[in-house]
Amino acid sequence: MQFVNPLFLIGLVAIAVPILVHLFNFRRYKKVYFSNVDLLLQLQSETKKQSQLRQWLVLLARILAIVFLVLAFAQPILPKGEGAVKKGMEYVSVYIDNSYSMESTSLSGTLLETAKAKAAEIAKSYKPSDRLQLITNDVEGHHFRFVSPDEFLKLVDQVEVSSSSVSLSDMIEKQYDFLNSNAYDNKSVYVISDYQTSFSTFDKFPIDSNISTYLLPISSSRVNNIYIDSVALNTPVLRKGANITIDVHVKNTGDAEVEKLPIKLLIDGKQRAIASADIAANSQEVVPLNFTIEETGNLNAKIVTNDYPIIYDDEFYFSLNVSDNINVLSVNGNAENKYLDILFGNDSAFVYENISDKTIDFDKISDYDFIILNELKTIPSALVQTLCSYVESRGSILIIPAENADLESYKYASMMLKTPQMMSFAERASEATYINVEHRLYDGVFEKKTDDMSALKVFKYYATKKDANTVSESLITLANGDDFLTVTPLGKGCVYAFATALKTSHTDFVKQAMFVPTLYNMALYSVPAPKLYYTISSTDDIALLTTFSGKEIVAKLVSADNDFEIIPEITTRANKSFMNTYGQIKQSGNYLLKLDDKVVESFSFNHNRNESEMEFCSNNDIKSNIKGFKLNNYKLIDNPEIPIDKYLTQESNAIHLWKIFVVLALLMLLFEIALLRFWKV
């Protein structure tokens, strides 16, 4: 028999207490002489031998109760026979959580150093012939191979904190897949982590009865933290001279209120805005930062605050791609529209071009941000298909119908673009009575919401019909309920459609004050708004604003400070280019996509903000999850002080007896109670 906690055997000295009590409480009998013993016949007699027997039994029960209780705390085990020992080599996979949260400190140093020490203990508990695998959040190529225990120790020494964040279920899944890639007999998995609540997805843990899985939590206490959770723009339109508001979402996970927290905006290294925030305990605030765009091109921006001791989430990076101009193309059926020429041709913010519907170059459609189909009698099917791909991937179009339009071709276009179908054209005078001021097209156009649009008159127009295929929204509606202007979202763009030609013989809309903001905002919002930032280690495709031609594009993704460089994969599908880094980005920051040393676009990456939520699973939480989700092949190593090799010896090659001794101690106490209660003196 062996003991897990042999020091508890010192408690056996406690058996002296009942012995001493019994020695001093034994009754000594004396002879008493009576003149008439008949007076004592009615009393229950007790012999000296009976009394002594009961006292000795009570003493024995008390001594055994103490002995059994001490042995239970010492946790005795019986080694199993040789037949129960695993035969052959052991194949072990060890996961070390090296996320940012493992930078927290404990009494023995950082959590990561403690985790590395535990991993070293695991390696030393196996034979030199056994094979081990080390895997971390970085999931690099050398992680997917078995090494000897000595080589494993060298790999453990090289583990450093990483910005990569992966759920525990995903990491265990990778460990299981690797171990099951070959027919190994003895397989074990160790998961060393702080078990941060946001990443401890117990409900998704894989189950494999052939793999013994040990959960080894590294204790971490809750830490107060203030961090920048996200940023958002108040408008998707980025152009030089525009006043922009950036909403910064800041969270306080601490138990105390924070006052006058500084929030700074830096663009290309220069401070452009500053604000302060008061954030209540365990709450979130949105802090607006206002600035004016003074440059065009790719702008590298970041939000900065100050917080201690956790500082890795005090900076938030994002990119602003400000176009020099907006490219507008007007495809004319009859003649150029003078009102469009005046609006777009005289504004330096636009590069405006007129072409005939007979000279369309389909290959150059994707070069434009906004396309106007101005009074085309017929919309060719080839043009419709090209415009469908164009709208879904990047830009917007405006359809201005001709008076003598071929309704069949327009019907096909309506079906493909999911717009209302044009019916009959007639001279029917009407007035606009409703404008959808809630739509972003009219954001900031009107000082107050109004339904009074009687000034806008229409003299002749097409009635339209919506069917199940239509997903359009009415922007301007006439008095009889017909639509004058609709918008249909499609992919990343929109399809705007008027019910009549834009000329004074059909409507006075071209002379209305709202004509300019309506058409102007259509063109502005047609510019695709790229994502402000991405998450580190993401393997999703990133849509590019630039379309690359050719099969092999060798572009470089370089950090803004030029200390990091990779070659991402760039693919082109349906006239749209995509980039994929396959998780090679490891550090938060601003990055530039370069082709032949020329900057094409800018991107920003931030680590997963779930890392900033300093909530961790306790041992009781882990036990409850193991039981609740029936993770029968999982075991919790809940005693960090016990060496791993000793724990494995107990778990794998021993029978635990402590429960038996607890039961025996309770039986002895019950036996003592029965003696004292039912064996009367």
Delineate the domains of the chain, giving CATH numbers in brackets. Answer: 2-75+658-678 (no CATH), 83-222+615-656 (3.40.50.410), 226-317 (2.60.40.10), 326-525 (3.40.50.880), 534-605 (2.60.40)
43 pLDDT above the threshold of 50: no
pLDDT in tens, 253-309: 888 899 999 999 999 999 999 999 999 999 999 999 999 988 888 899 999 998 887
Q: Where is average pLDDT lowest: 77-81, 141-145, 160-164, 356-360?
A: 77-81
What is d(CA 91, CA 129) in angstroms, rounded to the nearest whole number? 10
**Residue 560 in tokens:** 């803004």
Range 655-669 average pLDDT: 84
pLDDT higher for 639 or 196?
Answer: 196
Task: Give the distance, in angstroms, between the CA of residue 371 and the centroid of all CA atoms in the same chain.
Answer: 38
For residue 286, give every residue at least 6 positions away whose Cβ sits within 8 Å of its Cβ, in sequence order, or none: 247, 248, 249, 250
Supply the pLDDT for residue 548: 80
Q: Per the structure block, which two tokens stand in for 9?
A: 């055997």
- 3 state SS of 62: helix
| Residue 176's pLDDT band (cuts 50, 70, 90) | very high
For the cut 90, the answer to whether the pLDDT of residue 658 exceeds it is: no
Per-residue pLDDT, 184: 80
Residue 85 pLDDT: 43
Radius of gyration of the chain (CA): 39
> Among 512, 510, 546, which residue's Cα sits nearest to residue 528?
546
Report percent pLDDT > 90 for the chain. Answer: 44
Structure tokens that stand for 618 in this block:
């306790």
Between 430 and 452, where is the model more confident? 430
Best-predicted range by mean pLDDT (22-36, 158-172, 665-679): 158-172
Mean predicted confidence (pLDDT) in 115-123: 92
- Judge whether residue 17 has pLDDT over 80: yes
pLDDT confidence of 183, banded at 50, 70, 90? confident
* pLDDT range class, residue 138, cuts 50, 70, 90: confident
The pLDDT-based confidence of 513 (bands split at 50, 70, 90) is: confident
48: confidence class by pLDDT, cuts 50, 70, 90: low
Pairwise pLDDT comparison (175 vs 57), residue with the higher score: 175
CA distance 390 to 360: 14
Query: Mean pLDDT across the chain, nearest whole number?
Result: 85
| pLDDT exceeds 90 at position 45 | no
* 235-239, 342-346, 468-472: segment of lowest average pLDDT: 235-239
pLDDT for 376 equals 95
Specify whether the CB–CB gap between 169 and 136 falls below 8 A. Answer: no
The reported pTM is 0.69
Stronger pLDDT, 555 or 678, i.e. the higher one = 555
Percent of the chain surpassing pLDDT 70: 89
**Which position has the higher pLDDT, 452 or 349?**
349
Preceding amide of 309 cis, omega within 30:
yes
Please tell me the predicted confidence (pLDDT) of residue 83: 38
Average pLDDT over residues 379-403: 91
- Mean predicted confidence (pLDDT) in 408-428: 91
* Mean pLDDT to the nearest integer, 394-398: 90
Q: Give yes or no for a contact between 235 and 201, defined as CB atoms under 8 angstroms apart.
A: no
CB atoms within 10 A of CB 20: 10
Confidence of residue 344 (pLDDT cuts 50, 70, 90): very high
Helix (H, G, I), strand (E, B) or coil at 382: helix
Q: What is the pLDDT of residue 82?
A: 42
pLDDT digits (tens, 9 = 90+) for 206-220: 999 899 999 999 876
Residue (of 214, 216, 94, 210) closest to 149 by Cα position = 94
* Residue 186 near residue 607 (C-beta atoms within 8 A): no
